[in-house]
A and B are shown apart, each in its own frame.
Chain A
Amino acid sequence: MEGLPILSLMLLVPMVGAAACLFSGDKAARAIALAATLINLALGIALWVNFDIGGPQWQFTERAPIFAGFSWALGIDGIALMLIVLSVFLMPICILASASIDKRVGEYMAAFLFMETLMIGVFAAQDLYLFYIFFEAGLIPMYLIIGIWGGQNRIYAAYKFFLYTLLGSVLMLIAMLWMVNEAGTTDIPTLMAYDFPVKAQTWLWLAFFASFAVKMPMWPVHTWLPDAHVQAPTAGSVILAGVLLKMGGYGFIRFSLPMFPEASSQLMWVIFALSMIAVVVTSLIALVQHDMKKLIAYSSVAHMAIVTVGLFSFNVQGLEGSMIVMLSHGLVSGALFLCVGVIYDRLHTREIDRYGGLAINMPKYALFFMLFTMASIGLPGTSGFVGEFLSLAGIYQVSSWVAFVCTTGIILGAAYMLYLYRRIAFGEQKNADAAAMPDLSWREWLMLGPIAAAVLWMGVYPESFLAPMRADIQALDARLARAAPEGDARLTINKTAPAKAAAEPAAHEGAH
């Protein structure tokens, strides 16, 4: 593998595929897209296998100066690796899920492949401007996917999506220009170790926050998400929930935290407050939805709030937990949107009440749907639990209040997901057309099966996913240590019993 610019290759393959799709017929376009995404999946697996755990922080680095310090610089650490693997894993599934697309197939596939390039670019970029280009360009294909292949109200949704995400990015660009001027480099690893003046940090942090909070999305800038999901075609929703939402979290962990530790510590209460509101409010909203996709979209906002509190808990558990929640949510919400897509393709409605009793005529579907529902609820043994548990354990060490409010999410989450499942899969078969729907086809098996396996794998043996990230998280934790807030627990062990207290050094440690 030495010398092979594997990351550039991974960017190139979908681009070439996209170009080919534009100039080929429907059938050929589908085949090309599937082939390109599968090649990228193979490359992604190669990347994972060859990633040297315990080796240098940045691996597979490539660097080619372009002009004025701006360079084609790629490289990944464990965090980026995992997100790239998630992206390339979901892409072939998205292509499979697009069988019902029948207009402008070539363009559609091209948009998706272009999207893949940009997603990988975001996670692999080591140059600040390169990152910005990938990050913002990601808007364009998604805007087109929603605007052209979306539902009835697609224009409104597309414009809302565009308006929101553009708003933050302008501020971020200004902040980036200032940073490059101050630090004299566009190299992200260098910037991650650069100590910006504390006063400036606040402004820079807020500028980045404007962009990442929208992408995340955090309450109250989340309202684009339900509309975008509802209108997007199934595969669009999968990519949106699976990967695009992770860019906000990636931004926090790559930029906000390491570059502005002091500001992160000062402003963490902004994050906590918005996240606590998000967990409670969006969960309650999810409870009263009639539209399947909207319900899952709102649940995404609640789950992403767990990510943000975990990230800003300034300890290893919180950071690792957040990463696992991101990976898990990418799989689980992606799978839930696929589950919606499966029945949407048959009945062409997202109205929950039009279904019912699907466990009778679609038992295999019901089984998959149950598994993903349970993973979304965070049942131990599924991926959802590991991340949620670690994040919340992390935040508990900072504030029991935040932990308490966010943990209520496990109650509300169970309520809205089980209520959804009951209305779709259980009960009598009220509607004849829903009762006549056939069970999963082999294509749908291919879509859901691998995700199900990954969800269980991550739940039972998350070490595979934690190990590559461990050193990076530790390095980040060490960098954040100087700004880490004191927890509200203030554990004391009475000094009148010194012998006993000495026997319990670990407990003392917890107090600091």
Chain B
Amino acid sequence: MHPILVIVFLPLLAAIVAGLGNRMLGNVVAKSITTGALFVSAALSWPIFISYLGHGAEATVVPVMKWVASGALTFDWALRVDALTAVMLVVITSVSALVHLYSWGYMAEDTDQPRFFAYLSLFTFAMLMLVTADNLVQMFFGWEGVGLASYLLIGFWFKKPSANAAAIKAFVVNRVGDLGFMLGIFGTFLVFQTTSIPEILAAAPAMKGVSHITFLGMRLDTMTILCLLLFVGAMGKSAQLGLHTWLPDAMEGPTPVSALIHAATMVTAGVFMVCRLSPMFEAAPVALSFVTFIGAATCLFAATVGTTQWDIKRVIAYSTCSQLGYMFFAAGVGAYGAAMFHLFTHAFFKALLFLGAGSVIHAMHHEQDMRYYGDLRKHIPITFWAMLAGTLAITGVGIAGVFGFAGFYSKDAIIEAAFASGSEFGRTAFWLGAFAALLTSFYSWRLMFLTFWGKARWADSEHIQHAVHGQHESPDEEHGDTTHANVHPHEGTAGYHPHESPWSMLVPLVLLSIGAIFAGYVFHHAFLEDPEFWNGAIAWNEHIMHAMHEVPTWVKLTATVVMLIGLGLAWLAYGRQSSLPGKTAEQLGPVYRFLYNKWYFDELYNFLFVRPAFWLGRQFWKRGDEGLIDRFGPDGAAWAVEKGAVGARLAQSGNLTTYALVMLLGLVAAISWVLV
């Protein structure tokens, strides 16, 4: 039996056992089963990945079962393993195993733990099905499966209205993307008469620029429209500009969920899809330009919003959105290796940052507002060092040729690739990416300074006061962005002593720190410079991968320089305890509010889609169905029959003279009709 079968199906089995067993099994058993299954999967995944590093591993497909056969449209359940899958396997199983472990500590007080762990394992299964898909429909299965798990986990604390709203929003917004994905699959089947990914990729290059198709009455280049439709799906899942609104709200879910699903794995599915289908996208240059544009725009947009948020999880959420933008524009300029590399390193350091934030929230008794933090580095030192490693990794600290943290290799490679592409969109992406890197550095250090340095500002926090006064909050109440009346909290600890998290939470932090520190250094050669590692799993653009290394020195230095500027600004504004941020925010009033309110996307969509949908529904119901169809249909018929009956009764009066009159009139009428 191929190990991939165990890797994929063991988490499913664990999810079913833990989910259905639930209270019968008890917390410890359910948690052990799921966590154990994930560690087994992770242990089996790494050898597969390493076998690709050592070259010589071929792509294999393990058939599982027939699925659907309808005329020419056939697709089966099968697990495909190649270099690209191998990368995703280690990311998914490793982060998932660590998140499972972390949740032992983080969810310890929760009353509903088996359900939580079952959902986590179910998610992992769906994600693994997604990355091992050999045809587009199975990819869609995984795609929707992770959507379901995400929905269930965002809404895990289902008593909270805000969590429920966020869960529905995530599902429905993703469905908008899935509309594109589905149409893309239909179109691909129409053109290639198959949904098998290898067959499509083999046939795609020949279609470049020579084929046209009509879509919604428009005559378009075939590959362009197919790739654009599929990319709409990727935009939804990866929260790209326009379809990003669900991701920040998804932070309503427990923090381990944010780390696993909304940072390391699920949201990168879109990037994975573009890389998996890269030979197809290579045949559609216009679509690639669009990918570059959307990626770069998201990268900048999310970074700008990230600089203004106070909720620690939201800052990291926007950071994720922004980093996904990097991955997309890397793919857009043809540097798929760089995109996958950033996906790989990002999984480690972003999961680390989220889990670190979870540890801070845990220590601060569910307080998530960074204005109520400060001075935590002395109280929770291990968390602090882990978060520091994550921050060094995301901001890309390093010296070329010597050593760098993970992001140093991956993000710099993306920025260089954008410049090296030489295209108009590539250059734009370079400048936007460089500016976003400055902002990345700024908001990341802002988070660090606000949380770990300065004076303690906990006194006014409601959560801390509850803790101090012994009012036990239900563990379900991890607060989102509660609006605080006082935006300038007083200094002081109110006698509260933050406590470091238990070992089950610290071990994942330490292990992920190792990843955040070394993942770039160790693997950059394989991902960025070694087509034999990929072995055809992604399109390898020799030109750009070569040109990346030939960019002028100032380009190479850009990333490091903007990182330092961002750090400097953050230190000036937040490290020195100055009043600068307040003043700046005041002076830039409208701009600040625009950013703080996330460019008003939610308000806009509410106005454009949500409210009209409900209004239209009511109109169609009350005026359409009841006012028009029923009124003139069945009710109208009934009315007519009733009135007709009244008329008929009048006619049947029994009065002989009336009858005679009617007869006479009828006779006259008949005769005149015949004569005239």
Contact = CB atoms under 8 A, between A and B. Distances in A.
Chains A and B form a bound pair: yes
Contacts of B579: none
A281 B616 CA distance: 8
A182 interface: no
Contacts of A509: 193
Given A396-B183, A489-B187, 20 more contacts: A224-B634, A281-B620, A282-B620, A284-B616, A285-B621, A316-B71, A317-B73, A320-B71, A380-B141, A393-B185, A393-B189, A407-B179, A414-B172, A418-B172, A428-B159, A466-B70, A487-B190, A490-B213, A497-B210, A504-B206
Interface stretch (A68-76, A81-89, A397-405): A397-405
A240 interface: no
Interface in A188-231: 220-221, 223-224, 226
A408 B206 CA distance: 32
A397 B620 contact: no
A397 B206 CA distance: 22
A317 B148 contact: no
B222 A463 contact: no
A494 B159 CA distance: 59
Given A288-B621, A427-B158, A490 B214 contact: yes
Contacts of B637: 163
Contacts of A359: 158
B203 interface: yes
- B-side interface size class: 35 or more
Contacts, number: 205
Interface string B136-149: 01001100110010
13 contacts: A282-B620, A316-B72, A380-B144, A389-B137, A396-B183, A396-B187, A415-B172, A422-B168, A461-B65, A490-B212, A490-B214, A504-B203, A506-B203
B145 A381 contact: yes
A357 B155 CA distance: 13
Contacts of B189: 393
A443 interface: no
- A-side interface size class: 35 or more
A390 B73 contact: yes
B110 interface: no
Given A284-B617, A414-B171, A403 B183 contact: yes
Contacts of B626: 223
A321 interface: yes
Nearest to B215: A400
A492 B211 contact: yes
B222 to A, nearest CB: 7
B178 interface: yes
B168 A507 contact: no
Interface string B185-204: 11101111110000000010
Contacts of B402: none
A353 interface: no
Interface in B591-629: 613-614, 616-618, 620-621, 624-626, 629
Contacts of B72: 316
Contacts of B621: 285, 288-289
Interface of B: 22, 65-73, 77, 137, 140-141, 144-145, 148, 151, 155, 158-159, 161, 164, 167-168, 171-172, 175-176, 178-179, 182-183, 185-187, 189-194, 203, 206-207, 210-217, 222, 613-614, 616-618, 620-621, 624-626, 629-630, 633-634, 637-638
Interface in A279-326: 281-282, 284-289, 315-317, 320-321
A389 B206 contact: no
A496 interface: yes
Contacts of A400: 183, 187, 214-216
A427 B162 CA distance: 10
B148 to A, nearest CB: 6
Contacts of A411: 172, 175-176, 179
Interface in A36-68: none
A390 B67 CA distance: 12
Given A224-B634, A284-B617, A321-B70, A392 B182 contact: yes
Given A281-B624, A315-B71, A492 B183 contact: no
B192 A489 contact: no
Contacts of A463: 66-69
Given A163-B634, A379-B148, A414-B171, A503 B206 contact: yes
